[in-house]
Each structure stands twice: as C-alpha cells, then as structure tokens.
Structure 1
Amino acid sequence: MENTGYQKVWNLDNIFQGGSKSNQFLDHIKRLEVLVYDLEKCVESFTTPIATNEVVNLVNIVEDIGNIRVNLSQANSFITCLLAQTPKDQDAAILRGKVAQIESRYEKELSKVKNIVTNTKQDVWESLLEMKEVEDYRFILNEWRENIDKHLSNHEQNLISDLMADGYHAWGHFYNALLSSITVNVQVDGKEKNLSVGQALNLRSHPIEDVRKGSHYALESIWEEKEELFAKILNHIAGFRLQVYKNSGVESVLEVPLKENRMKKETMNAMWSVINQYKKPFSNYLKRKAEMMGDSSMKAYNFWAPIANSHQKIQYDEAAILITEHFSQFGTELEGFVKRAFNEAWIEAEDRANKSAVAFCAGFPLTGESRVFMTFGGTFLNVLTLVHELGHAFHNYAMKTINGLNKRYPMSVAETASTFSEMIIFDAAMKKAKSKEDKLFILDEKLKRSVMNFMNIHSRFLFEQRFYEERKEGIVSANRLNQLMGDAIHEAYNGSLEHPSNYSWVWTPHYYITRSPFYNFPYTFGYLFALCIYAKAKEKGKEFEKDYLNLLRDSGSMTAEDLVMKHLGEDITSEEFWEKGMEICVKEAVEFVKLTSSDDIEYGFVDFKHALYEKGRSV
C-alpha cells in the first residue's frame, strides 16, 4: 500500500498558533472579556418585555448569548486539547482558569436573562414567539422558560456559579490531571513497559491473555492504592451537586440529565425495560466466547480479546485509507469531510506515554473544524475508536451553519452520530469477510458494542443511581463504592462476567464529569437509535445522506421524542421502538453462537485487514 504519510500528531496551530503560549489565543480571551462585558451592560438595561414591540431587544440579547457561547466553545476546546496532549502543561491550566472566570460571568448574565424570560406574562410571551424574528429561537426560549430554577434568587444563582468555577469544576479537572499522571508497569512481549493509563487500557484487546491479565491486575493494584483519593473526589462532586439540587427543589438526581438530554423519563424507562427483557442472548454470547477460550464463563480481562490470535497490526495510514474508502460509500459530504480531517491533521493519534487516557472529539465552531484525540495502537478496536470520534466530528460539521444557541445538542443524539459511523465500518467489514473466521471476528467486535451498551452501560447507570441515594445520607467510603459497583455489574451482566473490575468507578471518567450526572444512558439511546437510522440509510443508499444531515442539524432544537417522530416517524416512549433495534442485536448474538458451534471453524488466526479491504488490494 502506498504510504501517504498522514500525521499522527494533530495541528493546533491553525486554530491558535503557539500552543499554551499563544498570543493569538490571549487576544481571543480579551475579545471574550469584551463580549461578556458588553452583554453585562446590555442585560443591565434589559427589562421584562411588556409588549411585542420589544422583541428586537430580546432577539439581540439572544444572538449575543449565542455568539459568546460559540467563542467560549472555541476557547474551551483549545484548552482541552492542550491539556490532553500534555497534562502537566501549567500554562494551559492557567488559561483554563482565566476562561472559567469569564464563563462564570457569562453564566450569571444568562441566568438573569432566563429569569426575565420566565417573568414575562403568558399572553405577551405567546405573542413574542409568534413573531418571525424569534422563529429560530422558539425552542430554546421555551426551554429556558420551562427549566429556569424558580427556587433561587439571582444572588443565590450567581453565588453557585462562582463556587462552580473555582470549586466544583476544579474537582473534575483534578481527577483528569490525576488520572493522566498515573503510569503503569506491564509485561509486554517479554519486556517491562512503563505505560500511561490509556496505553494500559489498550492492552485489553491484546491477543495474548497473559498480557491482558497482567495489565488488568496492574491497573487494579494502582486503583487499590489510590482508592481513598478517588473516593474523596467523587464524593465531593456528588455532594456539591446534591446540595445545589436540594436548594433548587430538584427531587430526583435523574431530573437534570433527562432535561439536558431533552428526553422524557418514559423514553428512558421503555429503553431499559426492553434491554432487561433481552439480556439472555448476550449472556449466551459471553459464555460461548469464554468456552472458545477454554473457560466456563467470561473473565473481564478477556472481554475485549479477539476471538482469534491476530499478530498483525494495522498502520495508521492504512486505517485512514480504509475509513475514507468506506465512508465514501455512504455519501460525498462524509467522504470529503473525513479526507479533510486526515489531510489537515485534525487527529492526535500518536502512541506515547504522558498523554491523556481518554479519547474525545473537540469542536471548534468558529473555524468550522474539530480535533480528535486518541491513542492509536494498531488494533481493530483502535480503528473503531477513531471512527467513533470522527462521527462526533461529522456531527459538528453538520451543525456549522446553525446559529450559536442551536448548535448545542444533547449527548443522547451526539452518541447517535458516532455509533452510526461505527456501523458503516462494521457493515463494510462484514460484507468483505471471505471466511467464517473473518465473519466471526467482525461479528464479535460488533457484539462487544451491544454488551457494552446493554450490560456495561446499564451497570454504570445502576451504580450511579444507588451511589447518589447513599450520598444523600453522607460520605460513601471507597469500600462501599466497590460493593455498589460489584453489585451493579453482577446485576447488569446477569452474573455472566467473572473477575470484573469493582474499581470501574475509579477509572470510568464519566462519573467525574461535572457538567451533568448520568453520562451513561444516552450512550445506549444513541446506540439503538443509530441502528434504526442506519437501517434507513441502507434502504435509500447515498440519497439518505441529505436526510441524515437534516436530522443532525435539527438535533440542537428539538426534543428526542420530536426528533425521532419527525425523521423516522416513531414513538420512542413505546417499547415497540426499542425492540426493533434490539431485534437486530439479538439476531447477531444468536448467529455468533450458531456459527461457533460448527465443526469447521478454526480459532487460531484471523486476518482482520483482509476483512476490511477490497479483494486484491495490497496491504
């Protein structure tokens, strides 16, 4: 294969030149300060509308808020990227503090505007919303009016905002810094290597069991050593959140994430109900895979293992070419987008120590770009991670023409785009599989996603529910956190997983995200939703790309229920909707067990490159 020489280190200089010492970025911070200062002055003279002729003032304020939000996103994404590539970058940490202070001022003014919106009389409000000038903002304005905290005064809201900037959010930053500073000694290929947490976690898919097992227990030892510190961080984050909710009159900790995901509780409950009814086929899959590896049940450190030993590595350039090739089969915009991402070095993929352990996508709305961060170790799992994050980036691309306020879409829909991108690769790989062995390899990787969404994510959800209930009564000890995690895993996996990491609460970063709790159930929503969308895409071919882009563009200005009804004509509060996606996954689990029961299957070696490339293509 021709070596194209794609860069493995991203280019941040064409966003702001000079990294954490960038004068260009300092100028951006100054502009932000001016924008927020102007907003403060404008809000100071902004009063509750009493007539429809005041709509211009409201629209101007809303547009200013959207403009600041876009500029803040640009700044926060840049700092996130700096600290991911170099977690000990003190200059970047200082910049983060400066931007946090500006963001705190912005949030105060936003709260004031929301209060004014809430205090507007209903007849005036309805008249305002009927005016053409407000057309683009009707959904977000109604959302402000419905969700505003009526229990706290402006002074109390401002005080909480200040505390969040320098206290609450700081715990999340501290967690990320602590996790990034940890190194792990693991035996790989007969040599002891000093790895980052991200590199050690990548060994979960290593073809040799001793390496997977060694990495698993090396990490467990680290978590045990530092469990008290991580328990303090988690308890402080949850304690602050619960106190704010109590003062705000929020009765259930789930109330906030459901609102943020623009989702009804009935939708979430219908989804989990269907998942609970259909876990048996996935337990059977785990048991069968364990038997293929010589065990009676699945050991946690073997879950990500390929079902056959593949000693091949896929190079980054090869991954870039195959992703572009398969994305091009879906549509021209997706193809052009992914070519630009690789050609312009939007991706940080270098496999090195001393970088963040967490893969992510950061959007830069001002420049219409994104940046993807991961550690590419040459496995099929790494290819899927890369594709997943590129899906997020394509969602950002789809939103580039949308105004500032409507660019922000809920996490549930965000995970739909990333999962959809994975489906493209899985489907292409399955079509090109030339043998049962190749087909099983791809099928196994796909089923891992189902298990993660139906069992692992469910365990996270159960743990977080129970943890918050106990945290209401006081500090939850590290030992108790381990018990809660172990019980949740046992229940969610139907007892089909051996030697699970009860320290999952330590190394799962989602629990430490201070923006919102329950950063879990939207993944499962996105997974099943993506299956439905992808089924439509296969029916319509390249013509569907336009519909897909329209769906993504609507994602920032509709509820989950309305979005699905508009673009798929489905009611997601009913179990029937979720059963359609579940049926696809169950068939795959049944097929895996059936195929592996045949006598003519060999488990020694699988060429996953062969399953991804066109016949005759040289690799």
Structure 2
Amino acid sequence: MPDASTLGPLPQWDLADLYPSPDGPELAGDLERSADKAKSFRASLEGKVAGLSGADLAAAIAEYEAIEEVLGRIMSYAHLRYAGDMSDPEIGKFYQSMQEKVNAISTELLFFTLEINRIAEADLAAKMDDPALAHYAPWLREVRAFRDHQLSDELEQMLHEKYVAGRAAWTRLFDETMARLRFPFDGETLTTSEILDKLSHRDGAVRKKAAESLSQVLGENVGLFALITNTLAKDKAIDDKWRHYKRPISGRNLSNAVEDEVVDALVEAVRDAYPKLSHRYYAIKAKWFGRDKLDYWDRNAPLPNDDDASISWETARDTVLDAYAAFSPDLAAVGRRFFDNPWIDAPARPGKASGAFAHPTVPAAHPYLLLNYQGKTRDVMTLAHELGHGVHQVLAGPQGHLMSDTPLTLAETASVFGEMLTFRSLLAQRTDPAQRKVMLAGKVEDMLNTVVRQIAFHTFEERVHDARAEGELTPTQLGDIWMEVQRESLGPAFNFEDSYRVFWSYIPHFIHSPFYVYAYAFGDCLVNSLYAVYQDAEQGFAKKYLDMLKAGGTMRHKELLAPFGLDASDPAFWSKGLTVIEGMIDELEQMD
C-alpha cells in the first residue's frame, strides 16, 4: 500500500453537518420531536386519508415528507458513522439503536402510504386537479406502483417492525464480519480493501499470494456467509410469495421503475455478447502476458508496460475536476464543493467499509463520499464515479426528500458518465502509443467489470434464488454455481482453481440489495449510447444532461432519455452500447 508521502494528505469527512455528536441534544431533540409528530400525524389522519381533499392530501404529504426527512437525516448519520468503523462495538450499538428508534417512529407513519394506495383511481384523479397535490404526482405514481403487492395493514406493520431483527440484523452480521476479517500477507494482516488491492499488483507472485490469502480466510468463514445468504434468500422468497411477485427480481424492477422485459433484454444482450467481449479481450490479454491462459488472479493485473505509478490525491482531484469542467463548468463547480468541504472520506483503514459509495443523506444537508483511495488509476476512476453520484444527488436535491431519489437504473448514469469524461480526458493527454494502449485496456477492463462481471453477478443471484426455492444451499453448491457463472462469463482464457470457489462470499450487493447489480450494466450501456450523442456535438447536450440529473426521481427512463433520442425499451438499444466496448477491443487488437 502506498505511503502517505506518495498519496499526499487524504481527506476525511466531518459528519457535523448532520449532527455534532451521537449523544448531543440535537440528535436527541430530533428523535423526540419526530416521535411526537409521527404520533400526532397518525392520530389526526388514520382512517381519513381517502376522504381528504386534494389540497388537504397535499398538505398531509408535505407534513409526512418533513418527518421522513428528519428520520432520513438521523439514519444517514448513523450509517455513515458505522461505515467509518464497523469494528467498533460502541458505533455498532449506536447504529442498531438508531435503527430501532427510527423504525418505531416510522411504524406510526406506515398507515399513510397504505391508505393512499387504497384510494380509487378516479377519486385520486379528481384530487389531482389541485396544483399542490399535482406537485407530488411522481411520488404518488411510485408509491401506487406497489398497490397490487400490498398486504393487510397489520401484516405490513408487523413486517416493518420485525425488519430490524430480521434482514437488517443479518446484513449487519455480514458487514461486521467482513470488517473484522484480517488477511495474512508477508507478516502483515490486511483488511479486505487492502488484500483486494493486491490483486491488481504488478508482480504476479504478489497477486497469487493475495488470492490464496483471500481464499483461505473467506474459506474459514464460508459457512457463516452461506448461512447469511441462505437465510436472506429464504426471507425474500417468503416476502415475494405473500406479495405475489412473479419472480425474485420483480420487486427490484418495480422499485427501479423498469419493466421486467427491459431488464431481460439487457441481460440477454450482454450474455450473448460474452464471446465478443470478455472471452475475446482476456484471450488478447493472455497473449500480451505471453501465455495461453491467465490465472484467475490475473484478471485485473496491470499490463506488462504499465508504469503502475501511484497517483497523488491532489492529482486525482485535479484530473477529475478538469474532465468535468471541460464538459460543463457548472458540473465541475458542484463537484468542487466536495473537495472544498469535508464531504469525502478517502483513506483505507481497519474497520472501515470496503469499496466505495456516495450517500445522498437528505436534501437539507449534502451527500458524502466514501472511498478507499490507494493511488491506482482505477482509484481515480472510482473517484470520478462516486463524484458523479454526488453531483447527481446535489442537483436532484431541490426535488425534495420524497422525489430526489433516482431509480437505480438511472442513478448509475451520472457516475458512469463521470468515469467516461475522465477516461476520455486522460486518453487525450497520452501521446505515447504504449501508454495509450495501457489506458485503453484499463478502460475496457473497467467496462467489462461494470457490464460483464455485474451481469454475471446477476446470473449468480438468479440461480441462487431459484435453487434456494428447492432447499438450503451448502457452501459447495454455492461454489458450484459461482464457478459455472464465472467460466461462462469470463471464458476459456482463464484457469479457475478451486481456491476461487469462495469468492462469491465477499460481494456485499448480494446481501445489502438483492438484484442491485444489473443497474451497473444498465448505466454503462446507457452512458455508451449517451456519450455517442455527445460526441456528435449535438447543440445543448450539456444543458439537457444537467436537466436530466436535476429531475431526480420525478421521471422514468423513457421520459428522461427522450430528449436525447434514446429508448432503453428498444432491444437494439443494448446492442448499441455493447458495440462501443467491442470497438475498443478492435482498436486494442490493431495495436498489437
């Protein structure tokens, strides 16, 4: 891992913009006031929602939104403290305590959306004549999308209350287990983020040793990870059965405001393209390494002529902001706020959540970014990615707490677009053919990780959930599914040793957000098409793009993409996006 003198000072976030301290009067006061307001809200409106006028329903929604925003602020603070150090039992206790208290308060509010969903369509249409209620039309549309899957009030309340002792508790067990794992390596003990970073080390012996250490420790814990996976899959199956979802993925698609058929078309297009994309690229990469096949730990290996130099934080910041500014000074100005303020937590440290994320918190505050920055080119791209999320969240904030959230399928658009801007900027600066080849190969690998790898993850989830319907899965069965999917997606250019069988167990998305992962491929293919429109120098593209980000959750993908002449429901749409990756592989092949 590079030392601090190489990377320079790395920023750490200050959560005081949310609350000054976990035990201060500000947080305690918000909890107490929220509890009182929620009880009062329920006492005055329960059983009466359908009879409200349009104006009165709008006022009730505004009151509901205000309470929910405060609860969102509390949980954002608790989650970010927890992500900063999952190994501290006091922080874990605080996080669980906040979950339980907020859950109890939100239980008082549960009746409201349930009653909204029981309003007849004709009655609601009449109420929508009121402009104040019409403002909330997008939120009402998304709430009412779940009408057919709603249970009785008593069951909904019971499931809501049990969440903290059910799915949330199993998720916490996974997170804290992963945070506490230590991986032996050359006399040191490394965190998950640090050992994963070794898999992209220049030295093949280091990569192999890191893979063996990762496999050893995951293998020692695979029984627990299998239990967590089995339990959550069964929990989801029970919920899906009661709610009458056709397939395990259907609930996720509904929350993403995307049709099952659109996602099926994406998955089919990517899987059909495996031979033209991943199989072909990794065969080329093996040839660059002078080998017939790569070992699985060589998937993210730097190319032989990659200088692998560490990139300082200051350089990474300037690289990303300059790329954003070349596209839109307004976009860069929003992005710069994250660096001018303590909104980013960049260092890798023990106990910290692995990977990276952007947390939107609430519109009354601002987003925060979590990274594990270690100075690689991929880390710069991760910064560009998460900053894209952050900028999107800031721009969508004025839509308000209920309508600023973007469906996952579109939430990845700004992040992947930010990566593409940064990559194109860096590539334009490279005049040496060898370095251009390294840059282009790195981008292809990132795209394969975003598209092929994520659809492979999606396929793994589908097969696991389908198999779990027949009974509990052993670690061996889970490993069999994993290996089958990896061989199918990455192709014949790899040697897959048995030590790779447990690598499914560290992927957090399977635990945190079932069927989340296809959103990455959705976003990458969408951005490829979007960037092609931009390259055609269409007048006013940047303004249209910023308007799309500002829309937040008020529009669905068809409405948002229409100004660009794109339609994700057209099966040919996905092939266009995949053709961009294929074209880059063509270019690399011609460089040999």
TM class by shorter chain equals over 0.9
In 2, distance between residues paired with 1:366 and 1:115? 25
In 1, distance between residues paired with 2:548 and 2:79? 28
CA contact (8 A) 2:38 2:106 kept: no
Q: Secondary structure at the match of 1:476?
A: coil
1:574 corresponds to 2:570: yes
State the match for 1:48 in structure 2: 50
* Per-residue deviation, 1:209: 1.2
In 1, distance between residues paired with 2:469 and 2:83? 33
Structure 1, unaligned runs of 5 or more: 598-619
CA contact (8 A) 1:205 1:381 kept: no
Match among 30, 33, 58 for residue 32 of structure 2: 30
1:198-213 correspondence runs (5 A):
198-213=193-208
State the match for 1:474 in structure 2: 471
State the match for 2:189 in structure 1: 194
Cα 1:309–1:166 shift into 2, 3 Å: same
Letter in 2 for 1:398: L
State the match for 2:485 in structure 1: 488
CA contact (8 A) 1:140 1:405 kept: yes
Moved more, 502-511 or 119-128: 119-128
State the match for 1:270 in structure 2: 265
1:564 corresponds to 2:539: no
1:333 corresponds to 2:333: no
Cα 1:250–1:462 shift into 2, 3 Å: same
Match among 403, 409, 412 for residue 409 of structure 2: 412
CA contact (8 A) 2:75 2:98 kept: yes
Q: Secondary structure at the match of 1:404?
A: coil
Letter in 1 for 2:50: T
* Per-residue deviation, 1:115: 2.9
CA contact (8 A) 2:369 2:387 kept: yes
CA contact (8 A) 2:7 2:311 kept: no
1:438-453 correspondence runs (5 A):
438-453=435-450
1:344-363 correspondence runs (5 A):
344-363=341-360
1:80 corresponds to 2:83: no
* Per-residue deviation, 1:543: 4.4
Cα 1:437–1:72 shift into 2, 3 Å: farther
* Per-residue deviation, 1:71: 2.2
Letter in 2 for 1:197: T
State the match for 1:433 in structure 2: 430
Cα 1:175–1:216 shift into 2, 3 Å: same
Letter in 1 for 2:585: A
Letter in 1 for 2:402: L
1:240 corresponds to 2:243: no
Cα 1:205–1:116 shift into 2, 3 Å: same
State the match for 2:98 in structure 1: 99
* Per-residue deviation, 1:342: 1.1
CA contact (8 A) 1:459 1:485 kept: no
String of CA shifts for 1:92-117, please: whole Å, max 9, x gaps: 32332333234434554554223322
CA contact (8 A) 2:312 2:375 kept: yes
Letter in 2 for 1:207: R
CA contact (8 A) 2:363 2:394 kept: no
* Per-residue deviation, 1:446: 0.8
1:584 corresponds to 2:580: yes
Structure 2, unaligned runs of 5 or more: none
In 1, distance between residues paired with 2:85 and 2:228? 22
1:29-428 correspondence runs (5 A):
29-44=31-46, 46-49=48-51, 54-105=53-104, 107-149=106-148, 152-187=151-186, 192-282=187-277, 283-307=279-303, 308-428=305-425
Q: Secondary structure at the match of 1:120?
A: coil
CA contact (8 A) 1:331 1:542 kept: no
State the match for 2:16 in structure 1: 13
Letter in 1 for 2:286: A
CA contact (8 A) 2:42 2:109 kept: no
CA contact (8 A) 1:21 1:91 kept: no
Cα 1:333–1:249 shift into 2, 3 Å: same
Identity %: 20
In 2, distance between residues paired with 1:311 and 1:266? 42
Could you tell me the TM-score, scaled by structure 2's length? Answer: 0.93
* Per-residue deviation, 1:200: 0.9
Letter in 2 for 1:61: A
Q: Secondary structure at the match of 1:434?
A: coil
* Per-residue deviation, 1:353: 2.8
In 2, distance between residues paired with 1:45 and 1:281? 58
CA contact (8 A) 2:46 2:111 kept: no
Letter in 1 for 2:480: Q
Cα 1:39–1:587 shift into 2, 3 Å: same
* Per-residue deviation, 1:230: 0.7
Q: Secondary structure at the match of 1:213?
A: helix
